[in-house]
Amino acid sequence: MLNPAVPGFHPDPSVVRVGDDYYLACSSFEYFPGIPLFHSTDAEHWTPIGHVVTRPGQLAIEDVPTGGGAWAPTIRFHDGLFHLTVADAMGRGGLIFTATDPAGRWSDGVVMVGADGIDHDIAWDADGTCYVTYSGLLLTGPDFGTHLGIQQVRMDPATGQALEEPRSLWSGTGLKFPEAPHLYEIDGTWYLMIAEGGTERGHGVSIARGPSPEGPFEGAPVNPVYSHRSTSHPVQNAGHGDLVRTDDGWRMLLLGTRPGGMSQMFAPLGRETFATRVQWVGGWPVVERLTLTPDLPPVEVRTTFDQPLGLEWLTIRDAERSWLTRADGRLVITAPDDAPPVAMDAARPHFLGRRQEHLTSRCTVRVDARSGTGGLSVRYDERHHYDIEVSSGTLRARVRLDQIEQTWEVPVPDGPVELWIATTPVVPAAEVDMPDLATCDLVRLGHGSGADAVEVAVVDGRYLTSDVTSSFTGRVTGMYAATGTVAFDTYVYEGHDV
């Protein structure tokens, strides 16, 4: 199996097969466009085909806190229609989107009423009764933060109205935070698969079975049926799985992280999507231990801005993008009038970025800031980012760690400047220029190319990881404007995992 199946910040995978095609959806949190979608013909090699959320109003991401937004979609196909359930956490709430073509236009989303929680799954029995099963974490009202375990209702998916009061289902083996339920009918038996143990190092997949969608469910003799907890496996936090049947057997798509450092402590790319094979023994799934694919070729993506933006480009809590324009084949970003002193501290900065998908990476762009201030930033959230920006002959590298800020300044000539941000993993056995081998990588900020390249700052990368920021996302690197208008051309992303 190819692993990672979908690299970089692509957590909470859900997969469905329709004919000879497979479709995969992932969480996107506060980023826009939201809920990325992928297509495959072999359930192994995945190609991006679009997003569910492509216009304002489908998600209420404009004001969600960090970590809010689109959580844990489930994608299914029923009666000629694709259905996707998702929690717009701290936004609209639980939603059902529909489409006839997953690459095409999705509906505005129906708000679910009577199914308060997250990680909603949707399934139908043979009679066409629709069941929504979910993790009962309350995110509104006076009971905010209360967890009711795995819940279920029968629902009218056209209106989003629950047709009964929620019932409690099997909620795992007693480990913390039962979540990510998926309900399947397999050869006449109903299976309820969940995640438990928390989405951190204790994460795992557990399963139960019963005679109907409502249970009662009995847990597998050995649960969790899949976990990497307390191992030195290069992929940690493995869990939140979804099952799909292929022509040559069953597969599980699940999330995991690739933490680095001497003690596997820090995961710079956040939660990614991985895949493995599943066999059925005695009516229970036996999940093959996943392995990382060695010797994957390096990737180089060169973007010029004389064409429409590709699917990989993201903004933060902003579906309008009115501040993005083009002129003379360049991308022009206009800064907001109310930008804070440090532009990337804003909840909705004028920023356009793409996910870091490789442990070794380099992002380069040519910046013309003669009419403003702007540059490159690698971001986890508005309180944790590293920036390199230029204005009026001065180049500034910056580290923002919550309430701590450090800057370096060097002069540069007026006119366009090539800026770059590079990441290099720290290998304990290798000689490195930073003595603390507990960290995962080094982030380098600089300008110029070839013999004229100047490294302005080298920064510990552990502070831009999910383990430090407590965010559910991953690194996103891109362009921003802090004042005035700034023009960018020829953005190059290079990455490999050697």
Report residue 429's pLDDT band, with 50, 70 and 90 as the boundaries.
low
Q: Binning pLDDT at 50, 70 and 90, where does residue 140 land?
A: confident
For residue 30, give Cα distances in angstroms to 5, 273, 408, 472. 23, 19, 30, 10
User: Residue type at 24?
Assistant: L
Structure tokens at 27: 């969480």
Domain limit, last residue, from 237, 266, 287: 287
Tell me how far CA of residue 228 lies from CA of 186, 279, 406, 470, in angstroms: 26, 18, 37, 20
**What tens digit of pLDDT does each residue of 47-103 get?**
999 999 999 999 999 999 998 999 999 999 999 999 999 999 999 999 999 999 999
pLDDT, residue 450, reads 87
Our answer to whether residue 179 is catalytic in this structure is: yes
Whether residue 349 lies inside any domain: the answer is yes
267: pLDDT confidence band, cut at 50, 70 and 90?
very high
Residue 280 belongs to some domain of the structure: yes
Does position 470 have pLDDT exceeding 90, yes or no? no
Structure confidence at residue 428 as a pLDDT band (50, 70, 90)? low
First vs last Cα of the chain: how many Å apart?
18
Mean pLDDT calculated for residue range 408-413: 94
pLDDT(262) > 90: no
Q: Do 304 and 271 fall within a single domain?
A: no
Amino acid, res. 257:
T
Average pLDDT (256-260) is 96
**From the candidates 12, 318, 357, 382, which is the catalytic residue?**
12
Domain boundary (287, 317, 333) is at: 287
pLDDT confidence bin for 433, thresholds 50/70/90: low
> Quick one: 70 and 214 in the same domain?
yes
Per-residue pLDDT of 285-318, as tens digits, reads: 999 999 999 999 999 999 999 999 999 999 999 9
Q: What is the largest CA-CA distance in the chain?
A: 73
**Are residue 81 and residue 220 in the same domain, yes or no?**
yes
Q: How confident is the model at residue 436 (pLDDT cuts 50, 70, 90)?
A: low
pLDDT at 414: 87
Residues 316 and 270 in one domain: no
Burial 306-319 (b: 16+ CB within 10 A, else e): eeebeeebbbbbbb
Question: Does residue 278 share a domain with residue 194?
Answer: yes
One domain for residues 351 and 240: no
Catalytic-labelled residue, pool 119, 121, 179, 467: 179
Residue 62 inside a domain? The answer is yes
Residue 298, Cβ density class (10 Å: 0-12 exposed, 13-18 middle, ≥19 buried) = exposed
Distance CA 484, CA 391 (A): 10
Q: Would 292 be classed as within a structural domain? A: no
Q: What is the CATH number of the domain that holds 198?
A: 2.115.10.20
pLDDT band at 430 (very low <50, low <70, confident <90, very high): low
| 218 and 184 housed in the same domain | yes
Q: Does 437 have pLDDT greater than 80?
A: no
List the structure tokens of 416.
């366009």
* Residue 235 pLDDT > 80: yes
Query: Which pTM value belongs to this model?
Result: 0.96
Can you give the pLDDT at residue 34?
Answer: 97
Residues 88 and 156 in one domain: yes
* 116 pLDDT tier (thresholds 50, 70, 90): very high
Asked whether residue 31 is assigned to any structural domain, the reply reads: yes
pLDDT bin (cut points 50, 70, 90) of residue 265 is very high
Region 146-152: what's the mean pLDDT? Answer: 96
| Whole-number Å distance between alpha carbons of 354 and 48 | 13
Does residue 7 sit within a domain? no
Spatial CA neighbour of 114 closest among 78, 158, 156: 156
**Least confident among 207-211, 291-295, 448-452, 463-467:** 448-452
- Per-residue pLDDT tens over the stretch 16-37: 999 999 999 999 999 999 999 9
| Residue at which a domain ends, from 253, 287, 321 | 287
Burial of 242 (0-12, 13-18, 19+ CB in 10 A): buried
Question: Do 274 and 328 reside in the same domain of the chain?
Answer: no
Same domain, 163 and 65: yes
The answer for 412, left when phi > 0, alpha when psi is -120 to 50, beta otherwise, is beta
Confidence of residue 184 (pLDDT cuts 50, 70, 90): very high
Residue 347 lies in a domain: yes
Q: Which domain holds residue 267?
A: 14-287
Decide if 79 is catalytic.
no
Evaluate whether residue 421 is within a structural domain: yes
Q: What is the pLDDT of residues 38-47, one digit of tens each?
A: 999 999 999 9
Q: Which of 113, 105, 179, 103 is nearest to 147 (CA)?
A: 179
Q: Which amino acid is at 142?
A: P
Residue 451 is part of a domain; what is its CATH number?
2.60.120.200
Question: Which residues are paired to 70 by β-bridges?
Answer: 29, 88
Q: Tell whether 151 and 245 lie within a shared domain.
A: yes
Total tally of structural domains belonging to the chain: 2
Can you tell me the distance from the alpha carbon of 448 to that of 427, in angstroms, rounded to the nearest whole number? 27
* Residue whose pair of structure tokens reads 């994460």 in the numeric block: 203
Does residue 235 sit in the same domain as residue 94?
yes
List b or e across 364-393, with b for residues whose CB sees 16 or more CB atoms inside 10 angstroms. bbbbbbbebbbbbbbbbbbbbbbbbbbbee
Instruction: Return the structure tokens found at 329.
Output: 């084949």
- pLDDT for residue 364 is more than 70: yes
